[in-house]
Each structure stands twice: as C-alpha cells, then as structure tokens.
C-alpha cells in the first residue's frame, strides 16, 4: 500500500468556513448527537476514550440509530484509551451495524513495547462530508471526576475545511483496516463533494501530527505563532511539558514584552506530569510568564489564542507524548471574531476558577515538593531517553 498516496494535506488555510466554538461536553455532545441524527450517508467518528457511561451510551445510541436507518457508520477508538471498548459497548454497536475498529489494540495490560506509546489521540467526527467536529473532548461524561464539568473545547465546522477532515479520517481508517485485515479496503460507497461550498468567512487549517509526513506540523504552527507574537500569548493546556525549543520561544516572547499567560491543571489526573510541569515554573515566572492553575475540576483543554487573530483548538497537548508520539489533530483559525470569543472564555475562566502561581508561592514550597518536581521531571526525561523518542528536545 502506498501510504503517501492517501496522506491528506494538512497545511494551508482554507477560506469560507463557519466555526462554532463548543465549550465542554454540555455544548459538544448535543451538537454531535444532533449531527449524527441528521446523517443521511456516512458518519466517521474517532476518539481516544469512549466510556461506557451515560454520555457514552447516548452517543452510542445515536450511532446505532444512524446505522439502523442505513447510514454507513465507522467508529475508531484507541486501543489504550478505550482498551475494553470492543468487548463492552463496542460489541453492541457492532451488532447494530456500526463498523468498529481499534487503533493499536493492547497486547497486554502490563506488556511494554516501545511503539505502545504511539496512540491515536485525535477527537474528530465527520458527517456526510458536510459537517465536522474537532477538539479535545473524549466520549466520556463531563462529571466523572468532579461536581464541576471537565474544562475542554471543541469546534463544529462547516465549509471547505470539512473536506480536509474527511480525508484525514478516511486515511487513518484505511490504514487501520489494512493492518487489521491484511487486505485493501473496498472503495467507499459514498463520495462527498470534493470541496464543500463556502458558508462563512473564517480562514482555518487542519493540522495533523503523525510519525510520517506530519511529524512536526502542530509544533511548528505553535512556534511560528509564538515567535511572531506582538501583544499576547494565552495558552490553556492539560499536559504542559514543552521541549527546549518551545520553552525558549515562550521565554523570548515574554522577554520582548509579549504578555504570556499559561492556564494549566491544578487538579491533575497524572501526578507525575503535574509535578514535572511545576519544575518549569521558576524559570517561566522569572521571565515574566504568568502561570495560572485551574482547580475547579479537571482541565483537559488544548487551546491557545495569540494576538488578535490566531487561535487553535485541538487534541494536542504541549508535551512529548503529543508532540513526538501520538496521532493528533488541531484546527488553527485566523479570524479576529473566533479568537476574541475563545480569549473571552479563557479570561473568564481564569478570573472565576483559577489561582495564579506567584514567585513568592514558589519560594514557600517545601523542600519535599521541590524534590518531587525535580524527580518527576528527571523521570519523564529518563523515560523519553529509554524509548529514544525525546531526541535533543528533552536532553540536557
């Protein structure tokens, strides 16, 4: 199979799009289910996690309804993030006519293979080649860990950019089907318009991250925007552990007078990464970067706004596993209205539900807390060294 022949182009902006910013699952899931219920021909859904909870069952029911009325429904989940899906909720979907596949199924819960870390972390959906969704929201209940909703974003997309999403999901579906079944998939039964009609005025691009042609697309887009920033950089990211190149770009931006703010997790579900990230605080604060920790619930967002017209919403964290290993997908938007809406949402969140980390706070940390951060950061770097994925970005 000639992989390059099916590789979707993931660079360059397309004009004429309409984007709707969706905050948290309370906005995303109703929009996704409505689109699935309106599907006439085809539904593609990719997700890292597909939980067997109330939200997962609602989305699964919509997929089943679509399949039962004759829509071709294809669902791709990750073998680690949704490790028990195919024997649980996925089995019922298969019986209803949904095509379910698993990206890199787990060989064993405690088995270690170097390539086990290469996950399908994207959260994409395409309906009839006309409506698309992208972002960081998994198929899981917003309230599974807190009385407040998990903080995250997605976008609903109409317009020419949907063709890029459609190519992306079909491409990975073909690769996984080829790997699972060992034969070329049949031609698709539904051929959407080559380029959906313009329905708005927003310029946007789909940026992919994989281990072939698009290894650095998302990272380089961030770096280009950070290095050219003139006024403000506002980043909200669940797992923030940038390499030297990314860290240097942020520090230089702050030093040349750009207002740099980071909204990070205060209540993390991965303590190792949480403590490792805190090892970066002293240097960031010394350069003038403002750091805020969101502590109302879990922060799962992967978004940013730079200056007045650049924004991104997607699945990619700013950490080695997203930037060096996983399949990721971010939408980058060049539009003042969209950027202003996302910025206003982030500013309101910082004001209402985040605590600013100050220099004096760092000075008052106990020696045990400081040691934990140093050890966590060293352990992450060691893990990357052992797997040979970190390269020079996470070395001394």
Catalytic positions: 121, 123, 128, 300, 302, 307
How many CA atoms lie within 13 Å of 118's alpha carbon, on the beta-carbon side? 13
Kindly give the residue spans of alpha helices, DSSP state H, lying in the chain: 3-6, 24-38, 54-68, 89-95, 161-181, 217-227, 244-255, 271-278, 281-286, 320-324, 336-353, 359-363, 367-387
Rg (CA), the chain: 21
Q: What is the C-alpha separation between 353 and 296, in angstroms, rounded?
A: 6
DSSP state of 216: S
By DSSP bridging, strand 72-78 and strand 99-103 are parallel
Placement of tokens 């009839």 in the chain = 128
DSSP 267: S
The secondary structure of the chain in percent helix, strand, coil, rounded to multiples of 5, reads: 40, 25, 35
Q: Pairing between strand 302-306 and 290-294? A: unpaired
């Amino acid at each position: 199979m000639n992989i390059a022949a099916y590789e979707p182009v993931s660079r360059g902006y397309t004009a004429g799009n309409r984007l709707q910013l969706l905050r948290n699952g309370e906005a995303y899931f109703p929009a996704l289910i409505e689109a699935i219920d309106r599907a006439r021909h085809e539904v593609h859904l990719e997700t890292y996690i597909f939980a067997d909870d109330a939200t997962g069952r609602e989305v699964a029911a919509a997929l089943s309804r679509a399949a039962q009325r004759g829509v071709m429904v294809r669902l791709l989940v990750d073998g680690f993030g949704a490790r028990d899906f195919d024997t649980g909720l996925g089995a019922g979907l298969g019986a209803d006519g949904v095509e379910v596949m698993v990206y890199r199924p787990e060989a064993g819960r405690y088995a270690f293979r170097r390539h086990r870390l290469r996950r399908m972390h994207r959260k994409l959906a395409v309906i009839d080649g006309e409506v698309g969704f992208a972002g960081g929201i998994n198929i899981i209940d917003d309230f599974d860990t807190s009385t407040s909703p998990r903080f995250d974003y997605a976008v609903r997309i109409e317009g020419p950019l949907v063709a890029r999403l459609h190519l992306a999901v079909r491409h990975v579906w073909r690769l996984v089907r080829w790997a699972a079944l060992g034969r070329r998939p049949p031609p698709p039964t539904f051929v959407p318009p080559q380029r959906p009609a313009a329905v708005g005025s927003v310029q946007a691009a789909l940026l992919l991250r994989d281990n072939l042609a698009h290894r650095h697309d998302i990272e380089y887009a961030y770096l280009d925007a950070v290095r050219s920033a003139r006024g403000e950089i506002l980043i909200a990211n669940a797992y923030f552990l940038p390499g030297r190149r990314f860290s240097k770009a942020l520090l230089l931006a702050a030093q040349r007078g750009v207002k740099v703010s980071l909204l990070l997790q205060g209540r993390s579900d991965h303590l190792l990464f949480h403590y490792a990230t805190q090892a970066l605080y002293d240097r960031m604060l010394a350069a003038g970067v403002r750091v805020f920790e969101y502590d109302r619930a879990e922060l799962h967002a992967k978004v940013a706004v730079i200056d007045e017209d650049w924004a991104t919403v997607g699945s990619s964290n700013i950490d080695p596993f997203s930037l060096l290993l996983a399949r990721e997908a971010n939408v980058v938007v060049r539009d003042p209205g969209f950027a202003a809406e996302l910025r206003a949402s982030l500013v309101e969140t910082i004001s209402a539900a985040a605590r600013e980390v100050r220099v004096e706070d760092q000075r008052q940390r106990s020696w045990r807390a400081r040691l934990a951060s140093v050890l966590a950061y060293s352990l992450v770097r060691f893990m990357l060294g052992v797997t040979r994925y970190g390269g020079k970005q996470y070395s001394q």
